[in-house]
A and B are shown apart, each in its own frame.
Chain A
Amino acid sequence: MKLHALTIHALQDLLATGEISSVELTRAVLDRIDAVESKINAYITQDRDTALAQAEAADAQRRRGEGGNLCGIPLSLKDVLCTKGLRTTAGSRILETFIPPYDATVVERLRAEGAVILGKTSMDEFAMGSANENCAYGVPKNPWNLAHVCGGSSGGSAASVAADECIASLGSDTGGSIRQPASHCGIVGIKPTYGRVSRFGLLAYASSLDQVGPLTKDVRDAAIMLKAISGYDPRDSTSIDQPVPDYTGALTQDCNGLTIGIPKEYFGAGLDPEVEQAVSKGISLLKEAGAKIVEISLPHTEYGVAAYYIIAPAEASSNLARYDGVRYGFRDHDQQELLEMYRHSRSQGFGEEVKRRIIIGTYALSSGYYDAYYKKASQVRTLIVQDYAKAFAQCDLLVSPVTPAPAWKIGAKIDDPLSVYLSDILTICTNLAGLPGMSVPCGISSHGLPIGLQLQASHFAEEKIFQAASALEQRLDLKNSCQL
């Protein structure tokens, strides 16, 4: 039995009956990492000894009849989540030596459930990217085809799940950074409603858009993980005090009673025909499962990228001001003057894309340009929010592609940032409106690359997403055929 290839729910049963121990399981996953990590490069930092110690502790808990829902399950974490005592880099040189003095709330919650933390996964620097090519610690490869990107910015998390180098992972999504790599790596990824999951201890990129969420091998695992991390946290003033449902209760086999809207703007020019075909097939399966299908319009979708690439860099330029070589991170010790020390530390510590976005954001907020850029973008954000409100008056879910095309070849877009930004067009509006969105596998291209289907719902309607995703998953029966 290949333990590393199993899901959380399958392993929960094996652990509960005592058929396997967490130490055996964790060793199996560490062996898998030894076998494939040199090809994939999913991890920035591995924490093997601590992981084995946590596995032993989990086994002891089980013997005493204790232990939470994730007791003994080995997970990876995007390196943007603070882990007490374990280096957290955000994929940046500027945090190469940063050891957080506390755990992010989501990490605390996973530990409270008994999870084993294997290590920290690769990501675009400060979560700025759509292909995980902007990482100071190398580019992770797509497990389905090593010449292709695995998507970003939670690329290492997605690759580690697809390559069975962990059982599940956590990522973060600011403009598609969970859903897009999940789509490219043939796994499930959900960005929850803004405020559903605490952002405390998540290194901030764009605070009004960032949200933490799971990347998993199947829909049930995503439901289990989301329940574990959700809920109000007084340490995040934007987290929302609402009861957390048991999302696994929504995993039925049909879509009876669900109205699914197809936003026509998501099927426009530039959509890869194979993606369109796979998503259309997914829609027909949802219909077969009992969903009513209606056409919907979200007329301001095409303005999402432009609004996002003002709002997100504006917030980033402010959030990243804290990296100044004083309290943590890299410092250029050669500078004798304070201002020069700041400038040189930041310029050497940050990568190209991060500097580009800091400059865009600073420009958009600077005197004389604020109204033309930031205010305008925030008004367009309102129009996008209103589009969704109208759509959700007519349907429960929106179904679309996640990305216009399957994963591109590593290096293909490296000198053209705008073309990379435009690849986010189908995921960005979800964040601008604070909605939940999921990518669930729906096909494989003729080149052997996975294709995802996106489900978006209104605020706190994650259960409807789980219902439809589960119905689709059962009807498609796409087993992970990623051959490494």
Chain B
Amino acid sequence: MKITPEEVRHVARLARLSLSEAEVEKTTLQLDGILSYVEKLGELDTTGVVPTTHALAIHNAFRADEVRESLSQQEALANGPVQNGEAFVVPRVI
């Protein structure tokens, strides 16, 4: 096995997901198949090959640091599942 149920639980926690035991089992099996397939990449010698993160050579895109209009507070809050007119409300953290 490339991946164990414990690893799936750990990664799910990192990704802020909560999986049922049945989901952990199914995901482990499917991920194992996918990761085994991906092993194929190991057939290639990539020593010294520079990784590509963007297909086109794009350099830093700078713009002038000017104050411009943006969303109003009301517009920005409008989609919040819980908000009090000034901020998004979340369960107490501390």
Report which A residues bind B (CB closer than 8 A). 97-99, 101-102, 193-195, 208, 234, 237-238, 240, 300, 302-303, 305-307, 309-310, 317, 321, 324-331, 333, 335-344, 346-347, 350, 355-356, 358-360, 362-363, 366, 373, 375-383, 385, 417-418, 421, 432-435, 459
Contacts and interface: CB of A to CB of B under 8 A. Distances in A.
The dominant DSSP class at the A interface is helix
A331 B89 CA distance: 11
A306 B40 contact: yes
Contacts of B81: 325-326, 328-331, 333
A303 B41 contact: yes
B79 interface: yes
Contacts of B18: 340, 343-344, 346-347
A176 to B, nearest CB: 15
Contacts of A336: 91
B44 interface: yes
A362 B41 contact: no
Most buried by A among B15, B33, B61, B75: B15
Given A101-B75, A306-B37, A434-B54, A358 B17 contact: yes
Contacts of B51: 375, 378-379, 381-382
Contacts of B56: 193-195, 238, 240, 434, 459
A448 B37 CA distance: 33
Contacts of A300: 44
B79 A366 contact: no
Interface in B21-72: 23, 27, 30-31, 33-34, 37-38, 40-44, 46, 49-56, 58, 61, 63, 71
Q: How large is the interface on B (under 10, 10 to 19, 20 to 34, 35 or more residues)?
A: 35 or more
B91 A433 contact: no
B51 to A, nearest CB: 3
Contact of B34 (A234, A326, A418): A418
Contact of B49 (A306, A382, A434): A382
A385 B52 contact: yes
Contacts of A347: 17-19
Given A338-B90, A417-B34, A382 B54 contact: no
A356 B32 CA distance: 12
Interface string B74-92: 0110111110000010111
Contact of B52 (A98, A306, A378): A378
Given A306-B40, A360-B34, A381 B52 contact: yes
Contact of B7 (A326, A350, A363, A435): A363
A300 B50 CA distance: 16
Contacts of B93: 338
A347 B9 CA distance: 13
A442 to B, nearest CB: 27
A471 B52 CA distance: 35
A329 B41 CA distance: 37
Contacts of A97: 79
B15 A317 contact: yes
B88 A326 contact: yes
Nearest to A207: B54
Given A99-B79, A379-B46, A360 B17 contact: no
Given A329-B79, A356-B27, A376 B16 contact: no
